[in-house]
Structure 1
Amino acid sequence: MDKLWSFSSRTNNAVDNVRQQWEEERDEQLDDDLIPLSQVLEDVDCFLNNNNAATTTHNSSREEQVPNCVVVLHKLLESMMDKYNRSAGCNGSRRSKFGKNPKNDKSFLYMVDRIFKLSTTTTTTLNLDKTTSILERVMFILENDLCALLEDHISKNWRPTPPPPPRKSSSFGSLQFQLQDHERESPKPGNPDDEDDEDDGLLPTFSPEDLSVLNKIVTVMINVGYHTECCMAFTNYRRIAFKTVLQKLGYTCIRMDEVYKMQWEFLEGEIATWNRVFRHCTSVLFNAERKLYNSVFSNQPHISRAIFSVIAQAVIVNFLNFAQAVVLTKPSPEKLFKFLDMYETLRDEVESVIILIHDDGSEQCAKDLGSELAAAKHGIIEAIVAMFYDLENSIKGDNERIPIPYGAVHPLTRYVMNYLKYACEYKATLEQVFSSQYCMNHYLYIDNNNNKGTSTTTTKIQEKNTSSEDQELDETPKKSPFVVQLMTIMDLLDVNTERKSKLYKDPALRCIFLMNNGRYIVQKIKGCDDLHESMGDNWCRRMQSSLRLHHKSYQRETWSKVVQCLNPDGLQQQGNKVSKQILRERFKCFNSMFEEIHKTQSSWIVSDEQLQSELRVSICSLVIPAYRSFMGRFKHHLESGKHADKYIKYHPDDLETLIDDFFVGNAMSMPRRRT
C-alpha cells in the first residue's frame, strides 16, 4: 500500500511538472502569435495622441471604437500577470514575482504605463472599465511584491553585529549600602573615541537588485496614483523592521506601569540598554535608513523625506516615552548617574535628528518632536536636581549615635566624597542641568511672585543662590549653580562630621576622627581636578588650616601632660640637691602615661599614610628631645642605686620605635624596649 501511495505521489508530481511546462510553452506561443510588443505600444501611443487631439479640438464626448492594439495590449498584460501569479503561487507563500526576468519586467512596466494613460484619456466606457480593472490587478500584484520584498528582508536579511558598548558604566550603590561598606572606587567612564563610528551594526542589507526592483515598483505605483497605498505599505513594513532590529539589539518597549514597578537593579540594566541602543540608532541606523529611502524613492525625494520623518519620529517618541516613564520613579541619589547618561543621550543625539527632519521640510514633525524632547529633558533635569536634594537630606538626617571605632573615616564621608568625585566626571553636564534649572526657576520665581505664590523647589534654589551671592559678593567670577550645590553639600558634610566627633568621649580621639575625615576630604578634592576647581584653592586652604588646628589640639590633649612629667622644675631641693624620690615619680609617671597612650593609640586608625607620618613625626619631635634631655641630665642620679631600669625603662630610640606603632589599628599587648 505504501509503495502504491509513493507511486501515486510521483505520478501527480510528474503531471504537475508537465502541466507547468505546457503552460509556459502556451504562453510563449501566445507571445509569438500576438503582434510584437513594440508595435503594439507604438500603435497605442498613436491612438492616445489622436484621441487627445480630437478631444482638445472638438471637445467631443462620443464613445469611439476600441482599436485592436488596445485589445492586444490588454491580452499581453493579462498574460504576463498570469505568469507572475503562477511563478509566485507554487508553494502558496508570499513571494516576490517582480525582478526574476528584467526583460519581461521592462516590458511589463511599459504596458502598465500605457494602460494608465488609457485609463485617463479614453472615452470608451467599455474600454475604461476593462482598463481600470486591469490596472487594479496590476497594482495588487505590485503592492504584494513590495510587501513580499520588505517582509522577506525583515525575516532573513538583517545581520546583527553588536553596536559599540556604552560610554560609561555608571552603577553606584545606595547610601544605606555604602554606610555598611568600605570605600568603593568609582567606575571609570569609557572613551567615546573608542567607539567605531564606521561600524554599520544592524543595517538594511538590500541587494542592489532588490533596491532596483523596489524603486521600479514604487515609481509605477506613485505614477499611476497609488502613492497612498505604496507609502502606507512601505512605512508599515519599515516600522516592523525597525522594531525587529531594536529587539535584536536588546531593546524592547516597556509599558509605563511596568517601568514604575520595576526594581532599580533591573531598571538600571534597561536604562543602560536604552542608552546604548538609542545612540546606535541615531548615529548608525537612521543614516542607513535614510540612504535606503533615498535609493527606493530616488524619483520622489519629497516622499523619501516624509517617510523618514514619520519613521524617525515614531522610533524617537518610543524612546522618549521610556525616559518619561523612568523619570516618574522615585528619585534617590544612587540613580543620578544613569539619569545623567539619559540626559546626555537626549542632548547629544535627538537634537541632531530633529534638525535633520526640519531641514527635510517636515517642520511640524520637527516641532512636535522638539516639544516631546523638551518635556523629557525637563523631567530628567527635575529628577537630577531632586537627587541632590535627597543627598542633602540624607546627610542632614544621619543622626547615628554610635561613633565609628578607632576614629576611622566615616562611611558617610567616603560615600559623599566618592559620589561627588564621580559626579564631577559629568561636571559639564551638571553645570548645564543646574543652569537650566536655575533659569527655569528664576522665571518661575518672578511669575509666582507676581501671582503671590512660590514653589518649594524654587524657594530652595533661590535661597541658595541668594545666600551664595551675599557671601561671595566681592568674589569674581560668581559661582555657578552647580558649584553652589557642591558647596552646600560640603558644608552639610562638615557640620555632620563635627557633630559625630562629639560622640567620642576622648578629646584626643575626637581630634583623630576630625583629622581622618578632613584629610580624606582634602585628598579626594585634590585628586579630582574638576572637584578641586569647583571648590577652589581658598576652600582647600581653609580645610588645611582646620586640620592643623585639630593636630595642635591632639598634641595638647595627649602629650602636654606627658611632657610635663619631664619638666625639671621642682626636682632640686635645698642646696640644689636632686630629690631621687621625686625623680623616680617623674620617670614612673612618664612610663605609665606613655604606655597607656601606646596601648590605646596603637589601636586607633589613621588610614592616610602622610597624615600618619606627620602625626608620628610631630610626636617624636615633641617627646623625644624632651625625654633625651631629661634622661641625660638626671639618669646618673638613679643609676647608682638599685633597680634603676625599673624607672629608666626606655632609651630615646625605644620611644621612637614605639611611636611607630601608633595609628595602625593593632593594640600592642607589651611595649617593646631595647635590651
Structure 2
Amino acid sequence: MEPDSTIKDESLDEKTNENKDEQTDHSTGPDVTKDNKPDDKEPKEESENKTNEQDDENTDQQAPDIVKVTDEIDGFVTLLSSHTGDDDEEPPEIQDSLEKFAFVAEAKIANYDMMDNPVKWSQLSEEETTSLLENVARIHKLCVSLAKFSKHSNYALTLNRFGGILQRALSFFEEEFRLLLEDYDANNIEYSSDPDPEQEPPEVNYFPGYSDDIIAKLNKLGHALISAGHETECCQLYFLERRKALEATFDRLGFEKNSIDDIQKKSWESMERDIATWIKTYKEFSKNILPSERNLIESVYAGHESVSLNLFRILSRTFLIQLFNFSEAVAMTKRSDEKLFKFVDVYETLRDLIPSLDGLFPADDVVLELIKSDVNLTRCKIGETIICIFIELENKIKTESGKTPVPGGAVHPSTRYTLNYLKAACEYKDTLELLFKDHQKIERADSQRSTSDYNAANNQPSNNNEEATVQSPFQIQLQRVMDSVDINLEGKSKLYKDPSLSLIFLMNNGRYILQKVKGSPEIKGVMGDPWIRKRSSDLRSYHKSYQRETWGKVLQCLTAEGLTVHGKVSKPQLKERFKSFNAMFDEIHKTQSTWVVTDEQLQSELRVSIASLVIPAYRSFMARFSSTFTPGRQTEKYVKYQPEDIETYIDELFDGSSATQMGKKR
C-alpha cells in the first residue's frame, strides 16, 4: 500500500536534502594520501556510484512538491472561478502544476483500485482517507472550473484527463460504499418478534447492524459522492442494499411477499396464520424497524437532509406498500362470520399505525399524507366489511330454519354459536362502537339530506336539535341480533309437537342466553340491565306457561269437585280420579325424565316449583279421600303413590336419562 501522497512527497523532500548533504560531504571528504591510495578499480567504482547517486538525485528533484502543487491547483481554481467562460473571454493559460497533480492523483487512485488486490476503505488510515477525500473534492471543483472553457482544445483535453481520474475515484467510492453497507451484522439486530405496544422506539444512536465506525465511513463516502454529483448513484446503492437487508428481516419475521391475487387464492385457515404474521410484522416495522432505518439514513447522509428524507420516503413506502397489499387482499376476501375477529385485528393494526408514523416524517409531508390515505382507504374497506358481517349475521339468524328439533328441548347449537360469537365480539367493543358510530353518521347524513329536501319542498322547518341517543349504535345492532335470536328460537320451538317441550326448549335457550350475558362483563355492559330484566321476565313467563300446560290437568284430578253425590263420596268417580292421576303422572315421568335441562339452577327451580304444586295437593287429596277405599288390596290398587314417591319421581325429571321403571324404585 502506498502512503499518503502528502506524506510521500514530504519524505521525498527530506531525501533530496539528505542527498545534497551527502554531496557536500563527498566534496569535503578526507584527502586520499599516497599511503592510502586506492587501486585502479576504486576510481572506476567510485565514478559509477557517483553516477547512480546523481540519477537518483535528479529523479528525486523531479518529484512534485504535492503541497506546492495542490496550493497552485487551488489558486488556479480560484482564478477560473473569477471568469465567466463567455465566448469572447480568453481563458488563463493552463499551468504545469495540473499535469503534476494529475500524475500523482492518477497513480494514487490506481494503487487503491488495483484489479488483482484492491484496497478496502476500512484498511486506510484516517490520514489517507482524509487526503483522498480532499483530493477528489479538489478534482471535482477543478473539473467544474475547466468545463467553462471546454470549447478550447487544451482545456477539453485537460478536462477529459481529470474527468477520467474523477470517474475512477468515484467508482472506487461507490464500490466501497456498497461493501460497507453490505457488511452489516444481522445477528446483532435486536428486533422483537412480538413488539410491546408500550415499547419505547429505538434510541437515536441505534443503527441496525452497523458500528459507529462504519457509520462514520459511510457518511464520508456518501458526502463525497453527493458533492461530486453522484447523488443518484449513491442513493440507488443505499436503497438496493437496505432493501435487501429489510427483505431479509421480513423473512426472519415470517412475512411472505405475495401479490393480492396469490393471497386471495389461499384458504381461510392459511390466511388466518398469515394475518397473525402480518400483524406481528406490521407492528415491528412501524414501531422499531422504521425508526431505526430513519436514524441510519440521517446519520449516513448527515448534512444532506433533503437527500435522507427523500431516500427514507422511498424505502419506507416500498415496504409499507407490501404490507398494504396484504391488508387490501384481506379486505377483498368473501365475507363470513368467522372472519370478523381477524378483520377487526387488521382494522386495529391499521388504525394504530398512523400515530407511529407521525413522528417519522415532517408535518404535512406529502408522502406521509399518501401513506395515511392508503392506510385509511384500506381501513375503511375493512370497517365496511365488519359492519356488513354484523348486518348479515342478523339476517342469517332470521332466515335460518332448521327442520329437525333438538332432542330433549336442549340448547340449540346455533344459540351457543351466536352467544359465544357475540361475547367474543364484545371484547372488541371500543373499536366496534367507533365503527358503528361512523356508520350511523353516514346514514344520518343521508337521512338528513332527504329530510331537508322534503322540508324545503313542503316549506316545513327543519329540526336539527336532536335528542341525545340513549343507546349507542353498536348496542342497537347487538340487540337487533338478539331479537333475531329470539324470533328464530320461537320458530324452532314450534317444531316440537308437545307444547310443554316447546316451553322447556325456550327456557333452556333463554336461560343459556341470560347466563352467558350476565357472566360476561363485556356483553353485559353492551346489553344493559333493562335487557337482563326483560329476559328474566320472559323466563318466568315460560315457566308459568309450562306449569299450566303440563300440570294443570294433573291438578284437576286432585280437586273435590264432582266427587260428592248427595253428600256422599262417589267411589266410582274417586277411582277414576286416582286412575287418571296415576296415568298422567306416569306418562309425564316417562316422557319428561328424558328431556334435558343442563342448567342446574333452572333444573332445580323447575323441580321445586312442580313439587310445591303437586305434592301439597296430592297429600291433601289423599288425606281427604283415601279412607273411602277398603283398606288393603283396594287401596293399593288405586292409591299407587305416596307423597314421598311423588317427590322422588319429580327429582328424576329433566335429567336426560331413559325412563325409569317406577315399580323397581317403589
Task: Tell me which residue corresponds to 1:74.
Answer: 102
The alpha-carbon distance between structure 1 residues 67 and 658, as it changes in their structure 2 partners (threshold 3 A), is: farther
Instruction: State the shift of 1:26 in Å.
Output: 14
The alpha-carbon distance between structure 1 residues 325 and 246, as it changes in their structure 2 partners (threshold 3 A), is: same
Distance 1:594 1:543 in 2: 31
Mapping of residues 145-294 of structure 1, within 5 Å: 145-153=176-184, 157-158=186-187, 163-165=192-194, 204-294=208-298
Q: Is contact 1:162-1:249 (8 Å) kept?
A: no
Task: Tell me which residue corresponds to 1:663.
Answer: 654
Please, what is the CA RMSD of the aligned residues? 3.5
Q: Is contact 1:424-1:531 (8 Å) kept?
A: yes
Secondary structure at 1:356 match in 2: coil
The alpha-carbon distance between structure 1 residues 229 and 539, as it changes in their structure 2 partners (threshold 3 A), is: same
Task: Tell me which residue corresponds to 1:438.
Answer: 440
Q: Is contact 2:6-2:66 (8 Å) kept?
A: no
The CA deviation string for residues 584-634 of structure 1, in whole angstroms up to 9 with x for no partner, is 433332222222111111111112221111111111111122122223333
Distance 1:617 1:142 in 2: 93
Mapping of residues 553-568 of structure 1, within 5 Å: 553-568=545-560
Distance 1:373 1:203 in 2: 27
The CA deviation string for residues 613-666 of structure 1, in whole angstroms up to 9 with x for no partner, is 111111111112212222333344447232533433333233222222211111
Instruction: State the shift of 1:485 in Å.
Output: 1.5
Instruction: State the shift of 1:515 in Å.
Output: 0.9
Secondary structure at 1:346 match in 2: helix
Of 55, 70, 77 in structure 2, the residue corresponding to residue 44 of structure 1 is 70
Task: Tell me which residue corresponds to 2:152.
Answer: none
Task: Tell me which residue corresponds to 1:130.
Answer: 161
Task: Tell me which residue corresponds to 1:389.
Answer: 391
Secondary structure at 1:66 match in 2: coil
Count of aligned residue pairs for this structure pair: 596
2:170 is equivalent to residue 139 of structure 1: yes
Task: Tell me which residue corresponds to 2:32.
Answer: none
The alpha-carbon distance between structure 1 residues 55 and 111, as it changes in their structure 2 partners (threshold 3 A), is: closer
Q: Is contact 1:63-1:125 (8 Å) kept?
A: no
Deviates more, 1:553-562 or 1:296-305: 296-305
Task: Tell me which residue corresponds to 1:10.
Answer: none
Task: Tell me which residue corresponds to 2:331.
Answer: 327
Instruction: State the shift of 1:430 in Å.
Output: 0.9
The alpha-carbon distance between structure 1 residues 162 and 151, as it changes in their structure 2 partners (threshold 3 A), is: closer
Of 486, 511, 514 in structure 1, the residue corresponding to residue 478 of structure 2 is 486
Structure 2 spans left out of the alignment, 5+ residues: 15-62, 150-154, 455-464
The CA deviation string for residues 256-309 of structure 1, in whole angstroms up to 9 with x for no partner, is 222222221112222221112111111111111112112212222332222212
2:653 is equivalent to residue 651 of structure 1: no
Task: Tell me which residue corresponds to 1:459.
Answer: none
Task: Tell me which residue corresponds to 2:301.
Answer: 297
Task: Tell me which residue corresponds to 1:616.
Answer: 607
The alpha-carbon distance between structure 1 residues 61 and 478, as it changes in their structure 2 partners (threshold 3 A), is: farther
Instruction: State the shift of 1:403 in Å.
Output: 1.2
Task: Tell me which residue corresponds to 2:360.
Answer: 356
One-letter code aligned to 1:640: P
The CA deviation string for residues 403-422 of structure 1, in whole angstroms up to 9 with x for no partner, is 11111111111111111111
Task: Tell me which residue corresponds to 1:506.
Answer: 498
Q: Is contact 2:503-2:545 (8 Å) kept?
A: yes
Instruction: State the shift of 1:519 in Å.
Output: 1.3
Instruction: State the shift of 1:511 in Å.
Output: 0.5
Distance 1:163 1:648 in 2: 80
Deviates more, 1:128-137 or 1:442-451: 442-451
Identity fraction in percent: 39
Q: Is contact 1:96-1:144 (8 Å) kept?
A: no
Distance 2:466 2:547 in 1: 37
Q: Is contact 1:438-1:481 (8 Å) kept?
A: yes
The alpha-carbon distance between structure 1 residues 506 and 35, as it changes in their structure 2 partners (threshold 3 A), is: farther
2:562 is equivalent to residue 593 of structure 1: no
Deviates more, 1:130-139 or 1:143-152: 143-152
Distance 2:438 2:359 in 1: 21
Distance 1:621 1:110 in 2: 106
The CA deviation string for residues 301-326 of structure 1, in whole angstroms up to 9 with x for no partner, is 33222221221222212211221222
Deviates more, 1:30-39 or 1:285-294: 30-39
Superposition TM-score, scaled by structure 2 size: 0.81
Q: Is contact 1:96-1:149 (8 Å) kept?
A: no
The CA deviation string for residues 18-42 of structure 1, in whole angstroms up to 9 with x for no partner, is xxxxx87999997787569996246
The CA deviation string for residues 408-451 of structure 1, in whole angstroms up to 9 with x for no partner, is 11111111111111111111111111222233344456678999
The CA deviation string for residues 479-536 of structure 1, in whole angstroms up to 9 with x for no partner, is 2222222122112111111111111111100101111111111122222223222222
Of 121, 127, 141 in structure 1, the residue corresponding to residue 145 of structure 2 is 121
The CA deviation string for residues 159-217 of structure 1, in whole angstroms up to 9 with x for no partner, is 57674449xxxxxxxxxxxxxxxxxxxxxxxxx66x766899x9721122221211111
Instruction: State the shift of 1:96 in Å.
Output: 8.3
The alpha-carbon distance between structure 1 residues 89 and 282, as it changes in their structure 2 partners (threshold 3 A), is: farther
Mapping of residues 369-518 of structure 1, within 5 Å: 369-443=371-445, 477-518=469-510
Of 358, 369, 390 in structure 2, the residue corresponding to residue 367 of structure 1 is 369
Distance 1:35 1:133 in 2: 29
The alpha-carbon distance between structure 1 residues 131 and 215, as it changes in their structure 2 partners (threshold 3 A), is: same
Task: Tell me which residue corresponds to 1:534.
Answer: 526
Q: Is contact 1:163-1:199 (8 Å) kept?
A: no
The alpha-carbon distance between structure 1 residues 204 and 332, as it changes in their structure 2 partners (threshold 3 A), is: same
The CA deviation string for residues 77-127 of structure 1, in whole angstroms up to 9 with x for no partner, is 3334334334x755xxxx982122233222222222222232233564443
Superposition TM-score, scaled by structure 1 size: 0.80
The CA deviation string for residues 140-169 of structure 1, in whole angstroms up to 9 with x for no partner, is 11111122222333xx62557674449xxx
The alpha-carbon distance between structure 1 residues 518 and 55, as it changes in their structure 2 partners (threshold 3 A), is: closer
